[in-house]
Amino acid sequence: MVKALLVVLAGVLTLAARGAQELRKPDVVYLPTPQPVVDAMLEMAKVTSSDVVYDLGCGDGRIPITAAQKYGARGIGIDIDPQRIYEANENAKAAGVTGKVTFLNQDLFTSDFGDATVVTLYLLPSLNVQLMPKLKALKPGTRIVSHAFDMGPTWPAEEKKEVAGKTIYFWVIR
């Protein structure tokens, strides 16, 4: 009886965590960034232990988790989908980095990521363009790395690299 109650309680808590914040539907279909691309993005940004790495549309949390594990950076992931935030938190626990990473169930267009020193993205080109004003307003020296999509013709990437058949783009806020 007690075991059955605990199972029911765990299910209710999981559903509550997943539905903690009902936001609009995600703008993109979730596709995880392959680990070799994650590694190359963080290398391109020259992440260090003093960085605050924000991953906008963090999915399962692999970029902030890798930044914490490999570089000792603080990682913050933002995703509109509560299921992705739940998965990211579970992955952080499994990786042993819950003290270094935070995952926020928020709309990245209204979120505050002004303390970022590195921002990573894997969004559609139209979303990158929408984010440009917020990104360009970040403090000078902030590095931005995008998987697969650039910022359009008005903000060309400073560096572009092919990794495992995928393209990554890099900018520094001046």
23-172, superfamily in CATH?
Vaccinia Virus protein VP39 (3.40.50.150)
For the stretch 4-18, pLDDT in tens is: 333 333 343 344 444
CA dist 161 and 145 (Å) reads 11
CA dist 108 and 48 (Å) reads 24
Q: What is the pTM of this model?
A: 0.86
H/E element, 60: none
Handedness of CA 46, 120, 59, 122 (dihedral sign): negative
From the list 116, 126, 119, the residue with the least C-alpha distance to 56 is 119
- Average pLDDT, integer, range 136-163: 97
CA dist 26 and 107 (Å) reads 9
The pLDDT-based confidence of 22 (bands split at 50, 70, 90) is: low
For the stretch 63-98, pLDDT in tens is: 999 999 999 999 999 999 999 999 999 999 999 999
The more confidently predicted of residues 9 and 43 is: 43
The pLDDT-based confidence of 146 (bands split at 50, 70, 90) is: very high
